[in-house]
Chains A and B, each alone.
Chain A
Amino acid sequence: MQSIVHVVLAGLSNGMFIWLVASGLTLIFGVLGVLNFAHGSFYMLGAYVSFSLVRALSPHFYLAMLFGPLVVCLAGWAVERWFLRAVYRLELPYQLLLTFAFVLIFDNLVKIVWGAGALHPPPGLGPLEGSVEILGRKFPIYSLFVIAVGPLVALALWALLERTWIGRIVRAAASDREMAAALGVRVPALFTGVFIFGTWLGAVGGALAVPYVGVLTPGMGESIIIEAFIVAVLGGLGSLKGAFLGALVIGVLNAFGTRFFPAFDMALIFLLMAAVLLVRPRGLFGVARS
């Protein structure tokens, strides 16, 4: 029992990072129709920038966590405004090529600025240090915080999209951009805004990961983008509800795999994805796109 609880907790905290990245990914796809392969880079940039700010602003940990992702939003703005906008009308392979180029560019940018090696954040970042005893075994307080943040972000996103005026406009532009434009919505500006917001979500994931992962490397965005893609596809591309559920499932499944099926822990999530796609090709909550 103790073991199961801890495996689930470890899986949930891991799943929350995947959720934060996948939420931005799926939001951008749902509204802009772009599969942004560089989304993992925003996660990486969020981590690196926040890490530097944590050092500079120490001991104001939360200020750094707040400002770090905002700085990364500038990168998101530049990518959308100056590059992506040119390929909206082109086919998917062109978008993938462009965004993949940005993965390489950002990886190398990080190598130039922060070095090719690993950075290890020092202990005692922020007030959430230490562990609590859960069923006789220690569990880091910070991980509990992460587990709490994930659902809060999900709730806030839902409220924003379903219950506000801006949410209605976003949904309108997502379902029919010509019609929305005809009704006076400034679609290009709206797309830029949504892309920046998605960037921010990924960067927040990266910022929160700084004390959690304990190591920053220039390739850290690439491993999480794969998981985020799986989650987004599993939940149905464009569906936030699906991404949230998918992230929880993948996180927990990963933890169970490592614990109970070590021989093929990495194969488990791909098997699950294959199974879901066979039964529901559009993913759990995917809707048909015209």
Chain B
Amino acid sequence: MARKRVSRRRFLELAGKGSILAAAASMFPRGVFAAPPSIKGPIKIGYGTVLSGTLAGYGEFHKMGALMAQDEINAKGGIAGQKVELEIRDATMKPDDAIKTARYFVDSWGADFLAGIDSSGQALALGPVMQQLDKVLIVTHAATEKLTEEWVFKKGVRQIFRICNATYHDGNAAAYVAKDLPAMRWATISPKYEYGFTCWKMFQDTLGKLKPGTTFQTESFAPAGTTDFRSHINTILDARPEGLYSTEWGGELITFVKQAAEAGLFEKVKHVLFPVGAAMDVLEGLGKEMPDDVWISGRYYFRYPDNQTNNEWVARFHKRWNHYPAYVSETAYSSLYALKAAVEKAGSKDTKPVIQALEGMELDTPAGRRLFRKEDHQAIYDVPWGKTKADPRYPIKIMGEQKLVPASITFARPPFEGPGTRPPF
């Protein structure tokens, strides 16, 4: 009969390893942060964002936020006692590149979690892929409501969460701002793809209900990569609308605003809404060229909320990077903290318990208190709208007069079909 015996040498070896482990463990904070036995480090987070092309400015801001979160978390003992390892790669704006990046992260690099993703087309393409890879992806920028409504809610891709606000903010909340403006005839110059179409449609539906009689006669959609908006601007000038709604964003919004100013558009059309105009690369890129009294918003605005958490974060960010944080910096930063909170709550970095921990989780972030809605994994939090104005304290235009349209009245509600699921409620 064979008996398992522990030899003297093996015993000493094990004892030695044990004491090293014990010594290592004592270096980390104990209590809630102490690593439960099931978590092995490091915690690897793969971050995909656009780092090339006209929209690369966004990627740089993602990077700043994500790196800052990584360094801060590691300086304070990591996630559940384990070090965070972050890798940031160029996922471009193309769906196939996003899929390639996700597969690389999970299959080759061994990522535990994924975050980032800028375009709606990419996010939608990742739906089935994330289910197959079975890793949690926190979307920090792509805004299409179809991601959370179709993939997460209806088709049950529970691996995807979105920490930034969605097209609900760009379309529905914009309509709440527009309803109080003395403009009945609206037009748009927007991107000629999913995001541009869906926002404009939402804006029309909601504003049409809030203010019957409003007309939407002119639309001019510019393909991705447009550098010459002059023909589009002419279309709008011909139509003489009272209000202009535009979901152009990033470098293309910068180009569009410059060319629109040359053509005198802002003198002819008095009420202008840029739902993603409060992006830092746009505010910095245009500087004083950003016209006054344009309504702008985004997925976070660095001067809101005016509380200690946010103000201290903005100060730290500015000190390290010499920029004010863009909205993607905040969503990138908070996505790492959301993963930290979820892993520590779940006591595991496995996909299933982390999903359970994230569902319904409330989290204090620089943008304020976020709630991850259980049904569709959409984060609920408020972002203000504001009218641009110059301020001697800043090299950029900031929001002067502000208006807050709460997410609770503008975000569509599950089950997303039938009466009472779309605003106005």
Question: Which residues of chain A have a CB within 8 Å of any CB of chain B?
Answer: 2-3, 6-7, 10-11, 13-14, 111, 115-118, 120, 123, 131, 137-140, 213-215, 217-220, 223, 254-255, 258-259, 262, 266
Contact = CB atoms under 8 A, between A and B. Distances in A.
B232 interface: yes
A120 B285 contact: yes
Main secondary structure of the interface of B (DSSP, over half): helix
Contact of B231 (A117, A120, A219, A259): A259
Interface stretch (B46-54, B346-354, B408-416): B46-54
Interface stretch (B14-22, B79-87, B256-264, B323-331): B256-264
B125 interface: no
A33 to B, nearest CB: 32
Interface string B222-239: 010101101110110110
B235 A138 contact: no
12 contacts: A3-B234, A7-B231, A111-B52, A118-B53, A120-B285, A131-B263, A215-B227, A215-B254, A217-B53, A217-B54, A220-B227, A255-B231
Given A3-B238, A118-B53, A120-B255, 11 more contacts: A6-B234, A10-B231, A11-B231, A116-B53, A120-B285, A138-B264, A214-B259, A215-B252, A215-B254, A217-B251, A262-B220
Interface string B64-80: 00000000000000000
A137 B230 CA distance: 12
Of A131, A138, A218, most buried by chain B (CB within 10 Å of CB) is A138
B33 interface: no
Nearest to A5: B234
A139 B235 CA distance: 14
B255 A137 contact: no
Contacts of A140: 262-263
A251 to B, nearest CB: 10
Nearest to A260: B235
B221 interface: yes
Given A131-B264, A215-B54, A218-B52, A120 B234 contact: no
The 8 closest A-B pairs by CB, nearest first: A117-B56, A258-B231, A116-B52, A138-B264, A10-B230, A118-B251, A118-B54, A213-B227
Nearest to A115: B56
Nearest to B60: A117
Nearest to A218: B52
Contacts of A219: 53
